[in-house]
Amino acid sequence: NAGVTQTPKFQVLKTGQSMTLQCAQDMNHNSMYWYRQDPGMGLRLIYYSASEGTTDKGEVPNGYNVSRLNKREFSLRLESAAPSQTSVYFCASSSQDRLAGELFFGEGSRLTVL
């Protein structure tokens, strides 16, 4: 089982460039999330989508946009990259079974902005 797949795994950008991180899940989950992980900061929620057609801001949404393309896919876009966006980005998904509560994470996309 693939689970949650993220592309690309690595990317180097120059300040001001744009790019889109792609995420797809094959577990038929309703909810999908984008987190960023920085050293000593843990994981911080950027945006999430509780179901197809809806998106909401998380803790650190500034500088990002998202698109829930369909039930499987959730993309994260940086319109004008800044060095402060150098981070490891994780996509995750979960079912809406309240008793389950488990997030399934991809392996991450490592972004460097010069």
Partner 1 sequence: QQQVKQSPQSLIVQKGGISIINCAYENTAFDYFPWYQQFPGKGPALLIAIRPDVSEKKEGRFTISFNKSAKQFSLHIMDSQPGDSATYFCAADRGSTLGRLYFGRGTQLTVWP
Q: Which of 33, 26, 35 is nearest to 89 (CA)?
A: 35
108 membership: H or E segment, kind and range: none
By beta-carbon proximity to partner 1, the closer residue of 10 and 14 is: 10
By beta-carbon proximity to partner 1, the closer residue of 27 and 41 is: 41
Beta bridge partners of 34: 47, 91
| Residue that is written with structure tokens 């509560």 in the block | 101
When binding is defined by CB under 8 A, the residue of 45, 60, 65, 86 that contacts partner 1 is: 45
Q: Which stretch binds partner 1 (CB under 8 A): 16-24, 35-43, 62-70, 78-86?
A: 35-43
Residue span 60-89 as binding mask against partner 1, x where in contact by CB under 8 A, dash where not = ------------------------------
| Contact criterion met (CB below 8 Å) for 5 and 24 | yes
